[in-house]
Homo-oligomer: A and B are copies of this chain.
Amino acid sequence: MTPEQNLVASAVNAWNVNVERADKLFSGLSEAQLLNEVAPGKNRLIYLWGHLIAVHDAMRPLLGLGQKLHPELEAVFLTEPDKAVPQLPSSAQLKHHWDEVNGSLQAGFGNWAASDWTQKHTPVSEEDFATNPLRNRLSILLSRTSHIAYHLGQGALAPK
Protein backbone atom coordinates (compact mmCIF):
# COMPACT_ATOMS: atom_id res chain seq x y z
CA MET A 1 0.00 0.00 0.00
CA THR A 2 1.51 3.36 -1.02
CA PRO A 3 1.30 6.32 1.39
CA GLU A 4 -1.36 7.86 -0.90
CA GLN A 5 -3.43 4.68 -0.82
CA ASN A 6 -3.02 4.47 2.93
CA LEU A 7 -4.26 8.04 3.42
CA VAL A 8 -7.29 7.45 1.20
CA ALA A 9 -8.08 4.09 2.81
CA SER A 10 -7.97 5.75 6.24
CA ALA A 11 -10.52 8.36 5.15
CA VAL A 12 -12.83 5.79 3.51
CA ASN A 13 -12.57 3.70 6.66
CA ALA A 14 -13.64 6.68 8.80
CA TRP A 15 -16.64 7.14 6.49
CA ASN A 16 -17.55 3.46 6.70
CA VAL A 17 -17.30 3.46 10.49
CA ASN A 18 -19.78 6.33 10.71
CA VAL A 19 -22.15 4.79 8.15
CA GLU A 20 -22.13 1.57 10.18
CA ARG A 21 -22.82 3.45 13.41
CA ALA A 22 -25.76 5.20 11.80
CA ASP A 23 -27.00 1.91 10.39
CA LYS A 24 -26.84 0.38 13.84
CA LEU A 25 -28.71 3.33 15.35
CA PHE A 26 -31.50 3.73 12.80
CA SER A 27 -32.04 0.24 11.35
CA GLY A 28 -32.70 -1.19 14.78
CA LEU A 29 -35.56 1.18 15.63
CA SER A 30 -39.27 0.39 15.38
CA GLU A 31 -41.63 2.67 13.42
CA ALA A 32 -42.77 4.07 16.77
CA GLN A 33 -39.23 4.72 18.02
CA LEU A 34 -38.36 6.48 14.76
CA LEU A 35 -41.07 9.04 15.58
CA ASN A 36 -39.27 10.07 18.79
CA GLU A 37 -37.74 13.52 18.80
CA VAL A 38 -34.03 13.63 19.71
CA ALA A 39 -34.94 16.31 22.28
CA PRO A 40 -38.24 18.07 23.02
CA GLY A 41 -39.36 20.06 19.97
CA LYS A 42 -36.35 18.97 17.86
CA ASN A 43 -36.06 16.72 14.81
CA ARG A 44 -37.43 13.20 14.92
CA LEU A 45 -35.11 10.24 14.37
CA ILE A 46 -36.93 9.35 11.14
CA TYR A 47 -36.16 12.80 9.77
CA LEU A 48 -32.46 12.52 10.63
CA TRP A 49 -32.29 9.15 8.89
CA GLY A 50 -34.01 10.40 5.75
CA HIS A 51 -31.87 13.54 5.87
CA LEU A 52 -28.67 11.48 5.88
CA ILE A 53 -29.96 9.40 2.93
CA ALA A 54 -30.80 12.55 0.94
CA VAL A 55 -27.40 14.12 1.70
CA HIS A 56 -25.55 10.93 0.76
CA ASP A 57 -27.59 10.60 -2.43
CA ALA A 58 -26.55 14.15 -3.34
CA MET A 59 -22.90 13.06 -3.02
CA ARG A 60 -23.31 10.99 -6.20
CA PRO A 61 -23.51 13.98 -8.58
CA LEU A 62 -21.11 15.99 -6.38
CA LEU A 63 -18.47 13.28 -6.77
CA GLY A 64 -19.22 12.49 -10.40
CA LEU A 65 -20.73 9.10 -9.59
CA GLY A 66 -24.02 9.65 -11.41
CA GLN A 67 -27.40 11.20 -10.82
CA LYS A 68 -29.32 10.97 -7.55
CA LEU A 69 -31.05 7.62 -7.09
CA HIS A 70 -33.91 9.18 -5.08
CA PRO A 71 -34.39 12.84 -5.97
CA GLU A 72 -37.87 12.64 -4.41
CA LEU A 73 -36.25 12.56 -0.96
CA GLU A 74 -34.84 16.07 -1.38
CA ALA A 75 -38.14 17.90 -0.83
CA VAL A 76 -39.03 15.74 2.17
CA PHE A 77 -35.70 15.62 4.02
CA LEU A 78 -33.65 18.60 2.79
CA THR A 79 -35.81 21.46 1.56
CA GLU A 80 -38.56 21.02 4.13
CA PRO A 81 -37.97 20.84 7.87
CA ASP A 82 -39.23 17.95 9.96
CA LYS A 83 -43.00 17.72 10.45
CA ALA A 84 -43.74 19.83 7.34
CA VAL A 85 -44.44 16.75 5.21
CA PRO A 86 -47.23 14.59 6.69
CA GLN A 87 -46.43 11.28 4.99
CA LEU A 88 -42.88 9.96 5.33
CA PRO A 89 -41.44 6.74 3.88
CA SER A 90 -41.71 3.65 6.07
CA SER A 91 -38.79 2.28 8.04
CA ALA A 92 -38.43 -0.56 5.50
CA GLN A 93 -38.33 1.90 2.60
CA LEU A 94 -35.73 4.06 4.33
CA LYS A 95 -33.58 1.03 5.10
CA HIS A 96 -33.76 0.02 1.45
CA HIS A 97 -32.80 3.52 0.25
CA TRP A 98 -30.06 3.80 2.87
CA ASP A 99 -28.39 0.55 1.81
CA GLU A 100 -28.83 1.33 -1.87
CA VAL A 101 -27.37 4.85 -1.70
CA ASN A 102 -24.46 3.99 0.60
CA GLY A 103 -23.76 0.83 -1.37
CA SER A 104 -23.57 2.82 -4.61
CA LEU A 105 -21.08 5.22 -3.01
CA GLN A 106 -18.93 2.44 -1.63
CA ALA A 107 -18.89 0.74 -5.04
CA GLY A 108 -17.76 4.02 -6.61
CA PHE A 109 -15.05 4.58 -4.00
CA GLY A 110 -13.77 1.03 -4.56
CA ASN A 111 -13.05 1.88 -8.20
CA TRP A 112 -11.02 5.00 -7.45
CA ALA A 113 -7.29 5.39 -7.31
CA ALA A 114 -5.82 7.84 -4.79
CA SER A 115 -5.44 10.38 -7.60
CA ASP A 116 -9.23 10.35 -8.16
CA TRP A 117 -9.73 11.69 -4.64
CA THR A 118 -7.64 14.80 -5.24
CA GLN A 119 -9.72 15.72 -8.31
CA LYS A 120 -12.06 18.67 -7.94
CA HIS A 121 -15.63 17.93 -6.97
CA THR A 122 -18.14 18.52 -9.75
CA PRO A 123 -19.60 21.99 -8.99
CA VAL A 124 -16.19 23.67 -8.50
CA SER A 125 -14.87 25.56 -11.50
CA GLU A 126 -11.35 24.90 -12.76
CA GLU A 127 -10.44 28.47 -11.77
CA ASP A 128 -11.64 28.09 -8.17
CA PHE A 129 -9.99 24.70 -7.91
CA ALA A 130 -6.68 26.16 -9.04
CA THR A 131 -6.93 28.69 -6.20
CA ASN A 132 -8.06 26.17 -3.60
CA PRO A 133 -6.98 22.58 -4.36
CA LEU A 134 -8.68 21.38 -1.16
CA ARG A 135 -12.06 21.68 -2.89
CA ASN A 136 -11.61 18.07 -3.92
CA ARG A 137 -13.57 14.86 -3.60
CA LEU A 138 -11.81 13.85 -0.40
CA SER A 139 -12.98 17.05 1.31
CA ILE A 140 -16.57 16.15 0.38
CA LEU A 141 -16.13 12.72 1.93
CA LEU A 142 -14.60 14.21 5.08
CA SER A 143 -17.29 16.85 5.53
CA ARG A 144 -20.05 14.29 4.99
CA THR A 145 -18.36 11.98 7.51
CA SER A 146 -18.53 14.78 10.08
CA HIS A 147 -22.14 15.36 9.04
CA ILE A 148 -23.08 11.78 9.96
CA ALA A 149 -21.29 12.13 13.31
CA TYR A 150 -23.09 15.44 13.99
CA HIS A 151 -26.49 13.78 13.69
CA LEU A 152 -25.37 10.59 15.45
CA GLY A 153 -24.59 12.75 18.47
CA GLN A 154 -28.14 14.06 18.34
CA GLY A 155 -29.64 10.62 17.78
CA ALA A 156 -27.86 9.33 20.88
CA LEU A 157 -29.91 11.76 22.99
CA ALA A 158 -33.32 10.42 21.89
CA PRO A 159 -35.42 8.53 24.45
CA LYS A 160 -34.97 4.77 24.06
Q: A39-B39, A114-B3 are in contact. Are A145 and B142 (CB under 8 A)?
A: yes
- Chain A contacts with B in 96-118, Cβ cutoff 8 A: 114-115, 117-118
Residue A151 at the chain B interface, CB threshold 8 Å: yes
- Chain A contacts with B in 1-26, Cβ cutoff 8 A: 1, 3-4, 6-11, 13-14, 17-18
Residue A123 at the chain B interface, CB threshold 8 Å: no
Residue A78 at the chain B interface, CB threshold 8 Å: no
Contact residue among B10, B115, B146 (Cβ-Cβ distance under 8 Å from A146)? B146
Contacts of A70 in B (CB 8 A): none
User: What is the chain B residue whose CB lies nearest that of A132?
Assistant: B13
Can you tell how many copies of this chain the complex includes?
2
Residue A42 at the chain B interface, CB threshold 8 Å: yes
How many of A's residues come within 8 Å of B, CB to CB? 40
Contact residue among B3, B40, B133 (Cβ-Cβ distance under 8 Å from A4)? B3
The contact string, 1 if C-beta is below 8 Å from chain B, for chain A 76-88, is 0000000000000
Stretch from A27-35, A55-63, A152-160 contacting the other chain: A152-160
Least Cβ distance of A70 to chain B in Å? 24
| 6 A-B interface contacts by CB (under 8 A) | A3-B118, A7-B117, A7-B138, A146-B148, A150-B153, A154-B154
**Closest 4 pairs (CB-CB, A-B):** A39-B39, A150-B153, A153-B153, A146-B149
